[in-house]
Amino acid sequence: MPDVNATAGPLGGLDPIAGAAQHPGVALVAGSAGVIGAHAAAEYARVPGWTVRGAARRAQPDVPWQPLPADLSTADGAREGLAGARDTTHLVFAAYVERGDERQQIEDNTALLRHTLDALADAPLRHVTLYQGGKAYGAHLPGFRTPARESDPRLLVPNFYYAQEDLLRAEAARRGFGVTLLRPEGVVGYATGNPMNILTVVAVHAAISRELGLPLRFPGSRAAAEALYQVTDAELLARATVWAGSAPAADGEVFNVTNGDQFRWAHAYAAIARHLGMEHDEPQDFPLTSVMPMHAETWSRMVERHGLVPTPYEHLVGWAFGDFLFHSGFDNVSSTVKVRRAGFGECLDSVDRFCELLDRLAERGVVPAAR
């Protein structure tokens, strides 16, 4: 049960970092340059008494944690890069590599975890948090059963989530540390140079449409526009991560972690258009991957005129990720009852949060201000 004496958290509900503050440790976030990892590292850095390090291949400038350059794809790279993290008590594993071939996807992502655990063989590990996602339930396949529950059986279709989980649980049993697996869906947040992010897809698509004097249209199928969808705010997921690392009720468990609501893209795009002061029109199905790169020069002019952060266009947005989500014409809903019962009850209105985060991107100079 949640601690009734805990203080309120910034996203509502009881403060999930209270337990972490009572038992400080040393957190290592693998993949801290990504959206999930960066937010997890930042959240741990907020907790009094914690030492926080972040391991990544890409540069991590101006971060509130100790950056560790590390290539976890090889055993030597992990051992050398994590040599300064052998006092780690809490590992947050958010490292990921994208591969087109499923077999290679499984091998390479499992190797990332294996190399990291091996490099921390002498560390006093107390807990490891591993992220999965809706693909564990078949969210990428037709016939996805909703609402998805943590007790649902695995699929026959191979998935690197399963291989990583099996490896982690075996190591936990052998070495005696705790484990929690978190399953977000459609993580919404921002990390510089990380294009696999639906927030930047929406933000840049809207900004270019406004620049060209066009109304905002949902750029996907009508089925996807009307299906129920869910997202996970990166800040909410980070707070769930800190909670899981210290909550006895989280040990050994798998939890769905979403904002706790669902929405339809058709309604979300209409609300986003109103928020940005744009006209809105009916959905218009077209492939983002082939159309939006043709607007690279338009974006370059916008960057110069508005003084935006000069992130390379191809590193700013993952249009293929947008095409995948915007053409999933079936409901995507996960139950969050289990994590609430265990003690993490934070929730957000997803459409309101999209609007807040779009404003934040404009404040940071990632996209032009709407007004």
What pLDDT does 14 receive? Answer: 53
Between CA 224 and CA 332 the distance in angstroms is 10
What pLDDT does 5 receive? Answer: 34
Look up residue 139 and give its amino acid: A
What pLDDT does 140 receive? Answer: 87
What pLDDT does 272 receive? Answer: 98
pTM of the model: 0.93
The CATH class, in words, for 18-187+233-256 is: alpha beta
Query: What's the token pair of residue 123?
Result: 């560390």
What pLDDT does 18 receive? Answer: 77
What pLDDT does 143 receive? Answer: 74
pLDDT in tens, 156-182: 999 999 999 999 999 999 999 999 999
What pLDDT does 371 receive? Answer: 67
The answer to whether 126 and 178 have CB atoms below 8 angstroms apart is yes
Between CA 34 and CA 95 the distance in angstroms is 8
Sequence spans of domains, the chain: 18-187+233-256, 190-230+262-332+348-363
What pLDDT does 196 receive? Answer: 73
Mind spelling out the 3-state secondary structure of the chain?
Answer: CCCCCCCECCCCCECCCHHHHHCCCEEEEECCCCHHHHHHHHHHHHCCCCEEEEEECCCCCCCCCEEEECCCCCHHHHHHHCHHHCCCCEEEECCCCCCCCHHHHHHHHHHHHHHHHHHCCCCCCCEEEEECCHHHCCCCCCCCCCCECCCCCCCCCCCHHHHHHHHHHHHHHHHCCEEEEEECCCEECCCCCCCCCHHHHHHHHHHHHHHCCCCECCCCCHHHHHCEECCEEHHHHHHHHHHHHHCHHHCCCEEECCCCCCEEHHHHHHHHHHHHCCCECCCCCCCHHHHHHHHHHHHHHHHHHHCCCCCCHHHHCCHHHHHHHCCCCCCCCECCHHHHHHCCCCCCCHHHHHHHHHHHHHHCCCCCCCC
What pLDDT does 132 receive? Answer: 97
Between CA 292 and CA 307 the distance in angstroms is 21
> Low-confidence residues of the chain, pLDDT below 50?
1-8, 12-13
Beta 127-131 vs 187-188: how paired, if at all? Answer: unpaired
Contacts of 264 (CB under 8 A, 6+ apart): 225, 226, 227, 228, 229
What pLDDT does 13 receive? Answer: 47
What pLDDT does 40 receive? Answer: 98
